[in-house]
Structure 1
Amino acid sequence: MPVDPYDDRSGVPVGDPFEDRLSAALQQTGSTFDTDRAALAAGGAARGRRRQLLRRTAVVGGAAAVALVGVGGALLGPWGGGPAAEPAAVASQPRPAESKSTSTSRSASGSPSAAFSRDDMIRTLEKLLPGGTFSGQDGRGTDSPYPPSAQVVFDDGKGASAISVGVDRVRPGGQQARQATQCPDKVFTPFDACTTTHLADDSVLMVLKGYEYPDKREDTKMWSADLITPSGQHVSVQEWNAAAEKGSPVTRPEPALSVARLTELAAAKEWREIADTQPVPQEPADPGTPEADGKAIVRTLTGLLPKGMKVVTKSADNTEFAYLVLDDGKGRSYVQINVQPGMSDLAGELFGGAETLSDGTLVTSRQGPGEKGGSGVVMWTVDTLRTDGLRVVISGFNSASQRTAATRATPALTMKQLRNIALSPKWRKLG
């Protein structure tokens, strides 16, 4: 069975769907990190707004990159998972409140709105698909604390294809809306094609032809479409060329729906009516500590590089994070940096046993294997925390990305150079 694209794997009630799916992704990948790094991510779980911030970058290296892939859309899709996937199991249980037809309820705004049962969701999905057979149906109605969804295994006679759809609401014009329709960065997530287009009604649609496993260890393809309407209705559709997204053999060369069919399914008016039953997320009352702009981070980092270092690629699409791919004539080297203000209360979790400089700045350094690259990939990291709470952590790799083979013996930046960059006073202007 496909996993619900709006399933929360963290075991906590869903608040901001993006934040919860982001948290779930990091928890899913957490087993690949050493104990102290997993503790860093867990340490921020109860910190309100900063929970997302910590989970985005507190676990340096691989996890930081994984989280930022989510900003580009790839992590907005379904998650794998084993026994921890309780919400999906709960969703498959019959609910006394569910019925075979719609009923009337009231939305968060107090206006009348239709209620849709689990069966309504499944029937709607099947109705919108082309001719074929269905099995493995599952879903959630609008009476669930989680966003409504439906999943089926569809066979058009050319092989089984898992298909899932979920709907919710986002703030029109907000960060989550932009992130849902932004193509991911190939440095982090390999894919065959990705397009973002504006439809006639001013909705924005992102269609991604990618893979279930970023390292392509299996041939399972995952294609997705995310639609955001001007009013903030969010429809997310995923499909696979297998009967399940994980642990199932490939049954056909490509998923069942063409890009045109996938677009039609995501844009169907039926989903928008269902999305209207969901509350619109409210702007946070307290925006909290200002976040460092990615473009400013890239400018500052570039200005701190040693002479002779050529910038081949750069990305500044996200707040508090940026990366460069450098080449000093000896091979390409990926460098990522996070600049996070307001992190002083995490000093004990992030910097236990750290070096303390004369001005009170805490510094830790690590040299070890790359989290996700092939054999021979190494990752060098310097992590710093100023007394005013500004955290700057920078990592260098001896490869062009975290997921590719080593291109050189060591990263282009030495540990001393990484340390000098992280401790530069110029970061205070951003935090």
Structure 2
Amino acid sequence: MVENQLTQLDVERHFSISRAKKLLHKVSPIFRRIFAVTLTVGMYGCAPEMGSSPSPANSRVGAGVSLEDLSIILQDMLPTGKAVALPTEAESRRAKNFGISYDDGHGAVRIVVSLQRVPDLNSSELTRCPLISRSPTSRCTRSVNVDGSVLVLNQEYEGVQEVGVQRWSAVATSKDGRQTVISEWNRASEQEDMPSRPNPSLSLKQLEAIATDRRWDFAFSGIEAPSPQPDPSAGLMTKEEILAVVKASLPRRIRTSGEEGDPRGYADLKVRDKQGESLLEIQLQRWKPEDPRMAQLFKDGVVKPNGIRLLIRQGPYGHKGAGAISWTADSLRLNGLRVIVTAHNAAAYGVDAVRKEPALSVGELTDLALNDAWDSQS
């Protein structure tokens, strides 16, 4: 496919017209829509593939794109309605973030767009569906396109489900690390506690179309990619290896289900006995043996005869659900391997307790955290 490359004059003309079009918005919405379509077809023609790099002409002008310009482009992509810019704009060398309140006549919604670069597809949690343990209401799909780009579509309640505030999102990440995140809430602004309508205005298909629209491409040349960082989970056990150790170590009365986790270093699962279900989490970390942050963290703990430091924590931290508590056995080995085992009396974060205490006792959590099987990967 032959690509139509943007020239400097094209882009300058685009933004001169965009600013003029903004002034015409209140005068003639119909003209505004016709104008937007004409501008898009006339300027962009055949768009580059999602995985391709922006053209040199795009790179020359991307740094000069303002958040106001990007907000106007977003409004061009929306169905006819009333749009007002929100004070959520933020710009840096690493990202461009902006938002609007949009009303199609059936209740205002908040829409926020973030344009950023990631080092690679595996370095961003946004290229994966959220864990159900952390987002229990999530309804998420992940797809990989033929060009290597990744699309994640998600719907979930934010906060207490009974309140009814929902966040729907689309995240499009190209193979070269350009990432467009569009999020929509069924409330007019972040300050609003209650929903303005039963569901957000735009469907997932409409959010997908906006996230993958080629009109964002030239803006990325003004966004720096973060410097590659060492993978903190490198060398740690895989999710499958962690789960194998856990299931081999659990008391016989315990049954398991709902296994999930990150590729390395973290896994969680549901454990249950006759009293009900409980979330169990296992996290592995690698630290320098004499790191002062670990010395401070474990200062109130105990040191076992083999030199392993152990700290027990009990409380409601990390939860919003009624009556939910967590028990944690946190251990640090002499070589810097940290093993954190946490059990909850709820099935996930943000939901109400389903039992009085977690399914595993503090002693059983301690035994799991001190298990010699973790040392096999040291």
TM-score by length of 1: 0.68
1:423 counterpart = 2:370: yes
- Aligned counterpart, 1:120: 69
Write out aligned runs for 1:77-226 (5 A).
112-114=60-62, 115-138=64-87, 144-176=92-124, 179-191=125-137, 193-199=139-145, 201-213=147-159, 215-216=160-161, 218-226=163-171
1:291 counterpart = 2:239: no
More displaced 10-residue stretch of structure 1: 235-244 or 111-120 = 111-120
Which residue type is aligned with residue 347 of structure 1?
Answer: M
Q: Is the 8 A contact 1:122 1:137 kept in 2?
A: no
Displacement of 1:373: 5.5
Identity, % of aligned positions: 29
Displacement of 1:227: 0.4
Task: Evaluate the alpha carbon distance shift between residue 233 and residue 197 of structure 1 in structure 2; reply closer, same or farther with a 3 A threshold.
Answer: same
More displaced 10-residue stretch of structure 1: 304-313 or 228-237 = 304-313
Which residue type is aligned with residue 361 of structure 1?
Answer: I
Match of 1:409 among 356, 364, 371: 356
Q: Is the 8 A contact 2:328 2:342 kept in 1?
A: yes
Displacement of 1:291: 3.5
More displaced 10-residue stretch of structure 1: 248-257 or 262-271 = 248-257
Structure 1 runs (4+) deviating above 6 angstroms are 285-289
Task: Evaluate the alpha carbon distance shift between residue 409 and residue 132 of structure 1 in structure 2; reply closer, same or farther with a 3 A threshold.
Answer: closer
Task: Evaluate the alpha carbon distance shift between residue 343 and residue 197 of structure 1 in structure 2; reply closer, same or farther with a 3 A threshold.
Answer: same
In structure 2, stretches of 5+ residues that fail to align are 1-14, 19-54
Distance 1:242 1:399 in 2: 28
1:240 counterpart = 2:190: no
Q: What SS does the aligned partner of 1:284 have?
A: coil
Displacement of 1:351: 0.6
Displacement of 1:365: 1.7
Rg larger in 1 or in 2?
Answer: 2
Which residue type is aligned with residue 169 of structure 1?
Answer: R
Displacement of 1:228: 0.8
Write out aligned runs for 1:344-383 (5 A).
344=289, 345=291, 346-369=293-316, 371-372=318-319, 374-383=321-330
Match of 1:302 among 247, 250, 253: 247
Which residue type is aligned with residue 106 of structure 2?
Answer: K
Distance 2:345 2:234 in 1: 34
- Aligned counterpart, 2:39: none
Instruction: Provide the aligned C-alpha RMSD in A.
Output: 2.9
Q: What SS does the aligned partner of 1:175 have?
A: coil
Distance 1:302 1:288 in 2: 21
Deviations 1:324-369 (A, max 9, x none): 2112333222211212122531332211122112222111223334
Distance 2:179 2:361 in 1: 45
More displaced 10-residue stretch of structure 1: 273-282 or 192-201 = 192-201
1:330 counterpart = 2:275: yes
Task: Evaluate the alpha carbon distance shift between residue 139 and residue 406 of structure 1 in structure 2; reply closer, same or farther with a 3 A threshold.
Answer: closer
Displacement of 1:230: 2.3
Distance 2:83 2:347 in 1: 44
Distance 1:132 1:401 in 2: 38
Equivalent residue pairs, number: 324
Task: Evaluate the alpha carbon distance shift between residue 217 and residue 318 of structure 1 in structure 2; reply closer, same or farther with a 3 A threshold.
Answer: farther
Q: Is the 8 A contact 1:121 1:140 kept in 2?
A: no
